[in-house]
Amino acid sequence: MVVQSPHSLQSSVPTPNNGTKRVQILVKENGSAVTDNVAGQRRASARLQAAKQKAEMELLAKRKLELLNEDVGRSTKKVNVDAEKLKPKLQPAQTVIQQLPEISSLPADPKINKKVAKMVERAAKIAEGLDGTNAPNVAEKSAHMKVKETIRLFNKHYLHFVQEEEKRCGAAKVDKKALKAKKKANRGSVSEADVKAKAKRPDLKAISKMMERNEVLYPEKRIGSIPGIDVGHRFYSRAEMVAVGFHSHWLNGIDYMGQSYKKGEYEHYIFPLAVAIVLSGMYEDDLDNAEDVVYTGQGGHDLTGNKRQIRDQVLERGNLALKNCVDLGVTVRVVRGHECANSYSGKVYTYDGLYKVVHYWAEKGISGFTVFKYRLRRLEGQPTLTTSQVHFTYGRVPQCPSEIRGSIVYWLRLVCEDISGGQEVVPIPATNLVDDPPVAPTGYQYSKSMKFARNIKLPANAAGCDCKGLCWDPKTCACARLNGSDFPYVHRDGGRLIEAKHVVFECGPKCGCDPSCVNRTSQRGLKYRLEVFRTPKKGWAVRSWDFIPAGAPVCEYIGVLTRTEELDNVSENNYIFDIDCLQTMRGLGGRERRQLDASLPMIQNMDKIDEQRSDSVPEFCIDAASIGNVARFINHSCEPNLFIQCVLSAHQDIKLARVMLFAADSIPPLQELTYDYGYALDSVHGPDGKVKKMACYCGAEGCRKRLF
């Protein structure tokens, strides 16, 4: 079987070689589709073939286990008869695994017993997806991935506390009514100050929780660079720096090592000793010339935010720590803060490298109070300073497709102003700087809504909640109870998913809430300005012109919903997405299990599925070869910034769940959007039985170099 590169030109644009193999899907007025292949040759996709091969292996393993049960059972019975003469009280084993050690201890042929044990172990591994040929490569995580995962953990905690704060604010509205009633009665036991005193920043609560659980990546302070954090790294809050151990305080500008570090590798240093500083324009005497900085010490300034000094600074703590850096020649990490409306903190912080503190002095500041000044000089040989690049990246993002038209490279770049043809609320332009002459993505029909094959009939709409207006009380909302008695989203930033789940239950057509309900977050269509662009090796790709916060919905995977078994009659394509939510929940085929939801109506029936049909092969899939949306152009990455989430809203049939793509990280503008295609190495075979291989060009540090 010949497998084309995902989202490549050959798989999206008809050519003399592949044009006759294009699947033609005729959509009827009711939204269903009739599939017809113009070519006589029909094959299954690589993903489907891999799933079927794995399913066959699992069925074979089950049969082996059944045969072994019978054979070992007979052997055990015979051996136990002889053993009764020697050990009258010996009890028979209950399972195959329990029998094997007993057999080996009895007077039976050791070679046969060892062979049986190996067969059982081999069959069990195949059944669990742990066989050596299909097991994923387990490698040590890189420092960069550890940093990324730590910030993802911080975001999860942060959004949990955001949800608590939103609940508190909702309850506060009720409290205000009680407050007015009590004031009117002159009882005054509840005051506005009491209500406001409950508020606490979710980011600070998140880092406190990480500290309590020992989840901070680098809890011990260190001099110099931090593994996994390169020059140019962006933090979207001071709390993120604390979470990874880059800068241990969310407010102070100077982070330093205290007297407790005198032992061990730092026993010959003088303490306190500074390790990192933040330049964020908080002091009126700061002078920042990029490579050369005059930094004002800490303390004595007005905390209300007007930057003015109101008292003298003292040479202690952070100020003394920077002075000791001068004496010892120790470098410090320098972070700069920039205004950023997209960040919840209002700023984005960039790591700009190591600086040497070359000189310090005390002087009268602009406000007439004593301040300490420190001159820092950037070390040579580091990557180019990125402070100006942050502004340049944001600045060069066009506001609309018409701005591209006015650029010098318009005729070489913009090939389509809106690939959706006006279907989406936000236009999706396509650009091409690779091909000469430039071509637009063709060979498919754009659709913003799911189409259905002729024989697909969706279940009836499920009963919904009785909420009015907005769903805000998880104790009374029926849909919230399906999600573990809480809502999966927070209102912040237009709706963000707190964490990945097996399945998310949203409010549907029969619910009483409004379309603006937080539990309808994924149903609102495209929100961010996406662009389809051409790459040299990966074909078409997708990026955003907007900042996308972690947990935000990006798009739904749209195509023709069809039965997997009927893909045998569809020509080979690489736009098939298996709806494998059920398989993920059960951890089949090496899939990674997620948080188990508290209430899943279909879980009770999972074990009743016909065992003659392998559960590893999803019953339904989405084919976006000829009909699809922008999601069909999103490429694979071994270290993706998006994740897949199954969502149910209109019905509760998990085998027909909607497939949504959510942001796994906070994604800056113009960064390519990617997700993991989920192929196992050596999982795709051709008609001759030989393993097929395809190179991976994702460029990630942890790239395994092969897609499959």
- The total of other beta-carbon atoms located within 10 Å of residue 273's CB is 23
Selection from 377, 599, 387, 364 nearest residue 481 by Cα: 599
pLDDT of residue 366: 84
Q: Which residue has the tokens 């286990």?
A: 65
Angle at 417 between CA 530 and CA 392, to 5 degrees: 55
The CA-atom distances, in angstroms, between 663 and each of 56, 164, 489, 496, 551 are: 35, 22, 13, 9, 5
Q: 363-368: list long-range contacts, CB under 8 Å, 24+ apart.
A: 365/284, 365/285, 365/296, 365/309, 366/284, 366/285, 366/309, 367/284, 367/308, 367/309, 367/310, 368/309
| Domains 146-153+201-378 and 415-588+617-677 agree in fold | no
CATH 2.170.270.10 fits 415-588+617-677, yes or no: yes
CB 452 within 8 A of CB 33: yes
Q: Give the span between the Cα atoms of 662 and 19, in whole angstroms.
A: 33
Q: Which two tokens stand for residue 307?
A: 């930057």
Distance of CA 571 to the CA centre of its chain: 32
Residues with Cβ < 8 Å from 701, sequence gap 6 or more?
Answer: 142, 144, 145, 639
Letter for the amino acid at 90?
Answer: L
- State the residue for tokens 């269903």: 32
Taking the C-alpha atoms of residue 72 and residue 69, their distance in angstroms, rounded to an integer, is 5
| pLDDT value, residue 547 | 93
Cα–Cα dist 352/295, whole Å: 15
Distance, in Å, from the CA atom of 275 to the CA atom of 218, rounded to the nearest integer, reads 13
> What confidence score (pLDDT) does residue 286 get?
54
Instruction: Collect all residues with Cβ–Cβ distance below 8 Å to 633 and sequence separation of at least 6.
Output: 7, 12, 441, 532, 540, 541, 542
pLDDT along the chain (708 residues), means of 10: 34 34 34 35 45 60 61 48 43 38 42 50 45 49 96 97 90 60 55 52 96 97 96 94 97 94 90 94 59 89 72 94 96 92 84 96 90 95 72 58 55 85 96 93 96 92 93 93 94 95 95 96 96 96 96 97 78 81 73 58 46 65 95 97 96 94 96 92 77 90 89
| Domain positions in the chain | 146-153+201-378, 415-588+617-677
CATH top-level class for 146-153+201-378? mainly beta
Question: What per-residue string of b and e applies to 55-75 under the rule 16 or more CB within 10 Å gives b?
Answer: bebbbebeebbeebeeebeeb
pLDDT at site 185: 59
